[in-house]
A and B are shown apart, each in its own frame.
Chain A
């Protein structure tokens, strides 16, 4: 009797929950496709496929944290393997006898063994999950009903599996398959020894079968409404991740006559990729742990940011699907989790993106929100108004006359492109090198090195304008595009073979963002160029003044562009110079606090990011802190002064250290 009705109930349960699941998933998919903003991620297909293998199957970033990483990997792989059995269960439930045993005992048995071990692995992982969330409680990890429900479901599923399998063993003690059950066999024996009759044991196994089936189907229905959605969204999000120059900021089409808004104002301004980012987040909190703003008491937590955007997305899902989004409120508002202070606290260091296991683009949310705040609402920190004015009138963020841009090298006999248009290398000095007295010394050191190595170079002089980075990172896309277009015209006039930049911000923008405006050139940062000169024997470092050095990685050089080795190569090439790494180095380096145009803003909330980093640098005991960026140098110098160590510790650019070691 039971066997006659069981298939119908199983079928009904599966059909019901699958229908619901598909129904809700379609809504999620339609939400994505209903968003009007476009995004193109059709480039680099082979790399994308590779990324899915390495990041999804290989769990590359997940494993960067040892204990949770291993636990998650066990759960991930365990679940994949167990799912085979789950499907088998469902099919067998409807068509009795149609199961993997048809493959023969050799294969089936091995599957059962692996699956059983994996069940234990998953359960262990889940136990660790509970332990971590309820006992260890790291600050960056939020535990709510959702998280606990997911863990509970999973634990329940594993226990149900063990239940089912161990009662099956007890129900058929003579089965040859029992030897393959590692844990379940052991449990099954205990049940059998307790004297329970095989018939009752069979009932028990069916009870657990139903428990397992209903839990799986229930979990399936729960997924689209919870953060566990990441199991569907993570793979695609990783496939569609940022690659190559797509680390560049989105080029907003400001000439679009039909555009009623620019940047991210309402939640419906997201692109499908942005929404997919929100689906993929499982609130692991690693981004918050890495974020310098969160670290120093600012209201910005990338994890909360993504969560808040997602809440907003689901709150207005109906309007998005109906394509009636005119009345939606702005995401950034005083009474939501996303206040203006949150948006402006970001230094764009990309530490969040670096650690995110599913490659969420948190900074895109920030940048696009800034665009809307600046372009549509004229709302930005008051200090930026002067910066914007200066950029408009003098093409530099500081108030210096644009025609004094080449004054720094008046006495250095430096050629200008206008006089020497065929120069091998165009040295793009940057605003800091041209106007900041401290950075001028670095530019002078670079010139000295280039001359020493007989490099044929020239500068743009007055033709050079700010590359547009401060305006762009501050959300003033209109001003940034104006500056970029003017520079592109100048660069395309000269078509330089190589562009050497003195600053990582110039480097990043010229290399990655100018392509979208029609200027694609071979752009290199001065540390890379100088290290190549050393390699080629054109520069021969001798013993210099700096012996104990620590190197601070610039975000725009490192995480933004993967340049970690060049400055270290230079330092290693200098005899008797010893480099001590800070604990947070390379792609884990802490931002100096000046990125994202924050160099020009007041830091009013929490503690100072640059002080935090300076303390770390001072703790290495090095007498020289080396940097490769004028902003980093300024922030670290301020930090050294604030710690009253200026008599003991110096901050120098790598170029200066090298120049001093070459007579």
Chain B
């Protein structure tokens, strides 16, 4: 029984984002790369599935430049059995990522389940899960908070607006995109970290998947940093005046309400 986890390596949330000299991408110097937090829930879920279904093998897959191998090692250290690295250039969009994941998975072996996170915190596109599922002609449920597995189907809780829950029951194989809080990702023990260093990570090129790096659809022509957050604006006056001015600023200046 083969279970896949699709994960992405992203800049740490605290990384300072700087625009590269060409103005079209970000400057990757000084960036600390981590396994996307949402994908961590997916990795954890796949390992918990395996703990209940000992016959399953968990294969972590990631598409990106060579550095993503570190994220795959983190997944292996958490307990995944194998890993596949699809060599993809930095500017790949959701379309190419989804297509390459779908083809690599098909090549590797029929999936029983595919886990992934609900979005990558770098591009925040939240498309690859459903797009990949469409390429694979599989159903998918995203923003999943809870999953109950039986032999041929999965019961899923999906979170929508207002914290309400949509209940699904989907036949396997299917794609499950994890939401924060689906589980508590484990911290890898030292022996597992050491073991993971020795596990083989299979490298797959785009050519092997009948794809090229120009098979993208959307690209970015320019990147810009937002204006720097200024000093705190202290609102003066008596309480009534302060309240009025604050609400006005929130509506007209900050535009959050």
The closest CB in chain A to the CB of B190 belongs to A375
Inter-subunit contact A393/B189 (CB<8 Å): no
Q: How far is the CA of A262 from the CA of B192 in the complex (A)?
A: 13
Which of A374, A376, A385, A401 lies in contact with B15, CB distance below 8 A? A401
On whether A382 and B184 interact (CB within 8 A), knowing A393-B34, A399-B13, the answer reads yes
Question: Is residue B220 within 8 Å, beta carbon to beta carbon, of the partner chain?
Answer: no
On whether A375 and B189 interact (CB within 8 A), knowing A382-B184, A402-B32, the answer reads yes
Question: Is residue B12 within 8 Å, beta carbon to beta carbon, of the partner chain?
Answer: yes
The closest CB in chain B to the CB of A263 belongs to B190
The closest CB in chain A to the CB of B32 belongs to A393
B230 to nearest A CB, angstroms? 15
**Contacting residues, chain A, for B30 (C-beta < 8 A):** 403
**Contacting residues, chain B, for A399 (C-beta < 8 A):** 13-14
Which of B13, B34, B184, B189 lies in contact with A376, CB distance below 8 A? B189
Q: How far is the CA of A385 from the CA of B191 in the complex (A)?
A: 18
**Contacting residues, chain B, for A400 (C-beta < 8 A):** 14
Which of A382, A393, A478 lies in contact with B193, CB distance below 8 A? A478
Question: Is residue B136 within 8 Å, beta carbon to beta carbon, of the partner chain?
Answer: no
Inter-subunit contact A378/B12 (CB<8 Å): no
Q: How far is the CA of A403 from the CA of B190 in the complex (A)?
A: 28
**Contacting residues, chain A, for B191 (C-beta < 8 A):** 376
Among A73-99, those with CB < 8 Å from B are: none
**Contacting residues, chain A, for B184 (C-beta < 8 A):** 382
Q: How far is the CA of A36 from the CA of B76 in the complex (A)?
A: 31
Among B82-103, those with CB < 8 Å from A are: none
Question: Is residue A404 within 8 Å, beta carbon to beta carbon, of the partner chain?
Answer: yes
Inter-subunit contact A404/B12 (CB<8 Å): no
**Contacting residues, chain B, for A403 (C-beta < 8 A):** 15-16, 30
Q: How far is the CA of A400 from the CA of B12 in the complex (A)?
A: 10
A566 to nearest B CB, angstroms? 35
Question: Is residue A388 within 8 Å, beta carbon to beta carbon, of the partner chain?
Answer: yes
Inter-subunit contact A478/B32 (CB<8 Å): no
Inter-subunit contact A394/B12 (CB<8 Å): yes
**Contacting residues, chain A, for B187 (C-beta < 8 A):** 374, 378, 380, 385, 388
The closest CB in chain A to the CB of B40 belongs to A389
Q: How far is the CA of A259 from the CA of B12 in the complex (A)?
A: 33
What is the size category of the interface that chain B forms with chain A? 10 to 19
Question: Is residue B170 within 8 Å, beta carbon to beta carbon, of the partner chain?
Answer: no
Inter-subunit contact B186/A378 (CB<8 Å): yes
**Contacting residues, chain B, for A380 (C-beta < 8 A):** 187
**Contacting residues, chain A, for B186 (C-beta < 8 A):** 378
Question: Is residue A254 within 8 Å, beta carbon to beta carbon, of the partner chain?
Answer: yes
Inter-subunit contact B189/A404 (CB<8 Å): no
On whether A404 and B13 interact (CB within 8 A), knowing A393-B34, A394-B32, the answer reads no
Inter-subunit contact A478/B190 (CB<8 Å): yes
A402 to nearest B CB, angstroms? 7
B194 to nearest A CB, angstroms? 9
B187 to nearest A CB, angstroms? 5
B23 to nearest A CB, angstroms? 21
B41 to nearest A CB, angstroms? 13
Give 1 or 0 for each of A387-420: 1 = CB within 8 Å of chain B CB. 0100001100001111110000000000000000
**Contacting residues, chain A, for B32 (C-beta < 8 A):** 393-394, 402
Can you list 27 A-B pairs, Cβ within 8 angstroms, ordered by A? A254-B190, A262-B190, A374-B187, A376-B190, A376-B191, A377-B189, A378-B186, A378-B187, A378-B188, A380-B187, A382-B184, A388-B187, A393-B12, A393-B14, A393-B32, A393-B34, A394-B12, A394-B14, A399-B14, A400-B14, A401-B14, A402-B14, A402-B32, A403-B15, A403-B16, A403-B30, A478-B193
Q: Given contacts A374-B187, A378-B187, A385-B187, could you give 16 more A-B pairs where the C-beta distance is less than 8 Å?
A: A254-B190, A262-B190, A375-B190, A376-B189, A376-B191, A378-B186, A382-B184, A388-B187, A393-B12, A393-B14, A401-B14, A401-B15, A401-B16, A402-B14, A403-B16, A404-B16
Leading 10 A-B pairs by shortest Cβ distance? A401-B14, A375-B190, A393-B12, A378-B189, A378-B187, A393-B32, A403-B16, A394-B14, A478-B190, A385-B187
